[in-house]
């Protein structure tokens, strides 16, 4: 139990339905859809699309989506990969010849076909209960009426406003040339028109006709190779989730091109150490996690790619591989950063989880990659393009080398955790590259230290990245000194590390939700 003398959040308990997300309006929308007769899929879709207007720097209909769904009345779990493919004309050789060593982040070459809408429409058609126009109605309303900008959103917006490029993006996402202040009303009427077409026509309203033509023309005018055929061909795919055991609990992740396998490898490495015997907030645990993260991410960068091009997944998930990597960790000294390939640092996303009265559970993540994605928007409708193609490498012969029709390595990963008592916990961690490390830390906090979802989410975080150990202010001076003595280069980031949401479906049917104070959102149930 938390100390009620101290600032903090109480967990949310309910038994009919629950949503946990990073913006209160999205949580309220999800609950409203559930109460109106929709199921968890309907609620997750409606709230997620709304988040594109609540947090436009994080996500939007020009992005990608992944989901893990527990079907009602059973233990069946399905996965959906709704990440976009590169246009057929993308060529790593041509980019290298033009002088690029890495994928250009803010160019149309980094824009893969947005996959999220294909995923939303597929999920809704196969598993939704409420008509699509009703599911999209709240997002359409608020896109027209506008949404007051929340405090964390305003901070992110101000930090990334310079990434918006061209009249189409700047006129729609800046106010008088600047990031909006807290409480300023943000609207996106052009995107509301797009949603109306999707509500009436399904995926064809986005990937064909006037909307697709607007996106293609805008990208080609900037030098992109995209065609309307690239957009018309985009499909979302059901995938078989990966399952991995950690000390009696089962972690469920999606297979590549996401980095769920990296989270599993990280946990497999940590399983070789007695974490439960360590202070959960002490330097020794932080050190082990940092070193394991370096090793797991190095493996991720070497092997993860479009599943049609990846051959080393079994090696990545092998307990023997993890044992060999664990043996490289010195408990007293930080290693130099493992070799990394040239893909970009991954940053921004939103995560949402919804559980309905039938215990259908949705774990969904939805992103435009960097803050404001590519910084480019379509001319007519103002659709902000993600830059997921920046997840490719230009290294010749690499499994993740950029190529037409290929999906890039992704960092956004939804997950579920099955505990030894049979209960299920959909959860996710925002924060781009941090997500695999965040998943591993979430699981160890639950399994090794017995923490409840809100306690896990509230706890301070660290992240070993690019030769630095990012550390939140929740860690004291003694821990910092001990880590520096082990050779870690400590950096306190301007903004906290990531965000998180989770819902624990207890064996008796009670729902327990947690949301992250690092964001603006809430868990809400009824």
Q: Which residues are catalytic?
A: 349
Q: Catalogue the E-assigned strands of 371-521.
A: 415-418, 424-430, 462-465, 468-471, 490-491, 499-505, 511-515
Q: What is the DSSP string of 147-213?
A: EEPPHHHHHHHHHHGGG--HHHHHHHH-BTTBPPPTT-EE--HHHHHHHHHHHHHTTHHHHSHHHHH
DSSP code, position 8: -
443 contacts 129 by C-beta, under 8 angstroms: no
Beta-bridge mates of residue 513? 12, 503
Phi-psi region of 216 (alpha: psi -120 to 50; beta: other; left: phi over 0): alpha
* Dihedral sign of CA atoms 189, 191, 193, 195 in order: negative
**Both tokens of residue 67?**
């989901």
Residues with Cβ within 8 Å of residue 246, at least 6 apart in sequence: 267, 268, 271, 443, 444, 447
SS3 (DSSP) at 481: helix
* Dihedral sign of CA atoms 180, 183, 189, 190 in order: positive
Distance from C-alpha of 366 to C-alpha of 54, rounded to nearest angstrom: 13
**Both tokens of residue 108?**
């149309």
- By DSSP bridging, strand 348-355 and strand 361-369 are antiparallel
**Both tokens of residue 452?**
């409840």
Q: How many CB atoms lie within 10 A of CB 11?
A: 19
């Amino acid at each position: 139990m938390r100390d009620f003398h101290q600032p903090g959040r109480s967990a949310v308990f309910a038994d009919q339905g629950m949503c946990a997300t990073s913006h209160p309006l999205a949580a309220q929308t999800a609950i409203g859809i559930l109460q109106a007769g929709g199921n968890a899929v309907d609620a997750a879709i409606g709230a997620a699309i709304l988040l594109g207007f609540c947090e436009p720097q994080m996500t939007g209909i020009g992005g990608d989506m992944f989901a893990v769904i527990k079907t009602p009345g059973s233990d069946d779990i399905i996965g959906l990969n709704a990440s976009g493919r590169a246009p057929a004309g993308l060529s790593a050789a041509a980019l290298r010849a033009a002088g690029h060593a890495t994928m250009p982040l803010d160019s149309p070459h980094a824009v893969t076909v947005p996959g999220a809408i294909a995923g939303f429409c597929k999920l809704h058609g196969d598993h939704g209960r409420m008509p699509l126009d009703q599911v999209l109605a709240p997002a359409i309303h608020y896109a027209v009426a506008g949404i007051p900008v929340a405090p964390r959103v305003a901070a992110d917006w101000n930090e990334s406003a310079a990434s918006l490029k061209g009249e189409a993006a700047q006129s729609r996402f800046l106010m008088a040339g600047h990031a909006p202040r807290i409480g300023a009303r943000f609207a996106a009427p052009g995107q509301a028109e797009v949603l109306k077409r999707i509500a009436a026509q399904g995926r064809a309203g986005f990937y064909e006709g006037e909307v697709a033509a607007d996106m293609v023309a805008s990208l080609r005018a900037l030098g992109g190779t995209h065609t309307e055929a690239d957009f018309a061909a985009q499909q979302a795919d059901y995938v078989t989730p990966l399952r991995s055991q950690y000390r009696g609990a089962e972690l469920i992740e999606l297979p590549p091109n996401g980095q769920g396998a990296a989270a599993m490898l990280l946990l497999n490495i940590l399983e070789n150490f007695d974490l439960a015997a360590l202070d959960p907030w002490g330097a020794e645990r932080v050190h082990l996690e940092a070193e394991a993260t370096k090793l797991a991410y190095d493996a991720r960068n070497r092997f993860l790619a479009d599943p049609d091009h990846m051959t080393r997944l079994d090696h990545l998930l092998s307990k023997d591989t993890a044992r060999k990597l664990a043996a490289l960790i010195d408990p007293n000294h930080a290693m130099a950063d493992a070799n990394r390939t040239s893909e970009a640092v991954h940053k921004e996303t939103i995560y949402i989880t919804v559980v309905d009265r039938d215990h259908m559970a949705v774990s969904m993540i939805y992103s435009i990659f960097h803050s404001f994605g590519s910084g480019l928007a379509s001319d007519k409708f103002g659709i902000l393009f993600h830059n997921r193609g920046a997840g490719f490498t230009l290294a010749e012969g690499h499994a993740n080398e950029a190529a037409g029709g290929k999906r890039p390595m992704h960092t956004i990963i939804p997950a579920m955790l099955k505990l030894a008592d049979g209960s299920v916990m959909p959860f996710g961690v925002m924060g781009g590259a941090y997500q695999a490390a965040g998943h591993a830390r979430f699981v160890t906090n639950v399994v090794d230290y017995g923490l409840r979802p809100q306690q896990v989410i509230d706890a301070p975080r660290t992240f070993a990245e690019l030769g630095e150990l990012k550390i939140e202010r929740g860690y004291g001076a003694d821990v910092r000194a001990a880590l520096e003595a082990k050779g870690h280069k400590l950096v306190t980031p301007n903004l906290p590390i990531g965000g998180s949401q989770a819902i624990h479906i207890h064996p008796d049917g009670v729902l327990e939700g947690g949301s992250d104070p690092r964001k603006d959102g809430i868990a809400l149930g009824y």
